Every structure is written in C-alpha cells, then in structure tokens.
C-alpha cells in the first residue's frame, strides 16, 4: 500500500494516487476516499474532471483520470463502506468503465457482488449505471423538474435523482432535512420511518483495478 505516481493518460500530466495492494488480491487504484469531512465535495464540473483533495486523505482522483484508467482494458470497481458502529460492507462491480468527457463521463457499473447491495442499479427510476456525471454547474441528470447536483450538493452519476450518492455531505451519522449525506440506499434505508432521520456513512473508499488481476471480491 502507498502513494504512487501514475500517468493513465500520456497527454496529461502524471498524478499521485493511493494504491491498495492488499484487499482481495490487491492492484487497486483508489479513486475516492471519505473519512473525516475535511474536503468539500460540492465542486464544479472542472474540479471533478481534474480531481481534488490529497491521496493521503479525502479526495476525488478526477474524471479524466478515471476515463483513461478504465479505457485501458476491462476494469473492476470496489466500494467499501463503514458505518458509525464499525460495521463494514462492500460492493464489487466486475464491469466498470467511465466514458470520455464528450460522452459526459457516463458510468458503466455492472455484474454486482458483495454484501452492501446493488444501489447503482436500484430501480428503473433510480439507476446510476449508464447515467452521465452531473454537477451543480453542469446539469445532466434525468430529473426534469430540477438539478440533482445542485439539490444534493455533489457531483455524481445522478438519475432522477438517486439511490446512492457517495460524494454527499459528510454528516456524523444521523441527520435531518434534505437527503444530501453519504448515502447507499441498499444498506441503510433513505429515511427512518419512526424518526424521519437520515443516515450518513463514516468512511467510504472507492477503488478500481484491471479485471485480469487475480483476486477475490
């Protein structure tokens, strides 16, 4: 494990990335990390394209880098979640790709396994697979009545609007109001029917690796 210099696109400058050489056989490049709320994820289209934060802490690697990485052969996606009771779950997608900027960084996330549930393909209305990336300043979601990125304060592959949003606002567990926290709808329900409260995760790490690396999910 450690911080490495990578250059997935030879036409763009090299960048630093955190690599996980242990989990499920290793070979993972970390593309997002949330752990303490130190970095604001309510960013512009350009900031999400270029990346922000530091690989030593909270960060987004960048959509341009994601496209370059996942265009070099078949890739897997792994999402690791931890709640405020130290319970951990994960979701793995055996078919992962982020399209080019001209294609709105469209997400492919298919062939799910794991124990967190498949929130990226939740339902016909809330399906993040095959959706364009959207931010507050670049509305490309499928919600005709508004702007999901603006409403939820994050860049993400919104539908109309969400069953998952791992770039949401960092709350320390339960909160009330707009569902704009770090959310994965197949583990924790959207709203507690008794209290009306929402739930936001303590830690998230999203990572990718080439599909041909031997490992287990």
- pLDDT, average across residues 32-40: 98
Return the H-helix or E-strand segment holding 188: none
The verdict on residue 217 lying in a domain is: no
C-alpha span between 187 and 90 (Å, rounded): 10
Return the H-helix or E-strand segment holding 21: none
Please report where in the chains the tokens 């209305």 appear, as a residue: 125
**99 to 25, 110, 170: CA distances (angstroms):** 26, 14, 27
Output the pLDDT for position 175.
86
The verdict on residue 86 lying in a domain is: yes
Residue 97 CA, chain-centre distance (Å), reads 12
pTM: 0.94
The verdict on residue 191 lying in a domain is: yes
The verdict on residue 171 lying in a domain is: yes
User: What total number of domains does the chain contain?
Assistant: 1
Structure confidence by residue, pLDDT tens digits, 127-176: 999 999 999 999 999 999 999 999 999 999 999 999 999 999 999 888 88
- pLDDT, average across residues 60-87: 96
C-alpha span between 166 and 9 (Å, rounded): 25
C-alpha span between 45 and 148 (Å, rounded): 14
Number of other CB atoms surrounding residue 103 within 10 Å: 11
Question: Coil, strand, or helix at residue 130?
Answer: coil
The verdict on residue 215 lying in a domain is: no
Structural domain for 146, as ranges: 2-210
The verdict on residue 146 lying in a domain is: yes
Output the pLDDT for position 125.
81
191 pLDDT exceeds 70? no
The verdict on residue 199 lying in a domain is: yes
- Enter the tokens of residue 52: 């922000």
Stronger pLDDT, 215 or 127, i.e. the higher one: 127
Q: What CATH number does residue 19 fall under?
A: 3.90.215.10
- Enter the tokens of residue 165: 């949003």
The verdict on residue 163 lying in a domain is: yes
- Enter the tokens of residue 153: 């304060």
């Amino acid at each position: 494990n450690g911080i490495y210099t990578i250059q997935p696109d030879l036409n763009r400058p090299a960048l630093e990335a955190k690599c996980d050489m242990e989990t499920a056989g290793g070979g993972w490049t970390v593309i997002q990390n949330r752990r303490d709320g130190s970095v604001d994820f309510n960013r512009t289209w350009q900031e999400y394209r270029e990346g922000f934060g530091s690989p030593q802490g909270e960060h987004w690697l960048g959509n341009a880098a994601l496209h370059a990485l996942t265009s070099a052969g078949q890739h897997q996606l792994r999402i690791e979640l931890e709640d405020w009771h130290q319970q951990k779950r994960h979701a793995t997608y055996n078919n992962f790709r982020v399209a080019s900027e001209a294609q709105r960084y469209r997400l492919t996330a298919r062939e799910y396994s794991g124990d967190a549930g498949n929130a990226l393909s939740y339902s016909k209305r809330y399906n993040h697979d095959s959706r364009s990336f959207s931010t507050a300043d670049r509305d490309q979601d499928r919600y005709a009545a508004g702007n999901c990125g603006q409403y939820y304060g994050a860049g993400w592959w919104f539908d109309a609007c969400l069953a998952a949003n791992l770039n949401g606002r960092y709350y320390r567990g339960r909160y009330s109001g707009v569902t704009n926290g770090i959310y994965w709808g197949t583990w924790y329900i959207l709203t507690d029917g008794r209290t009306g409260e929402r739930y936001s995760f303590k830690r998230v790490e999203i990572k990718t690796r080439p599909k041909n690396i031997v490992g287990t999910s």
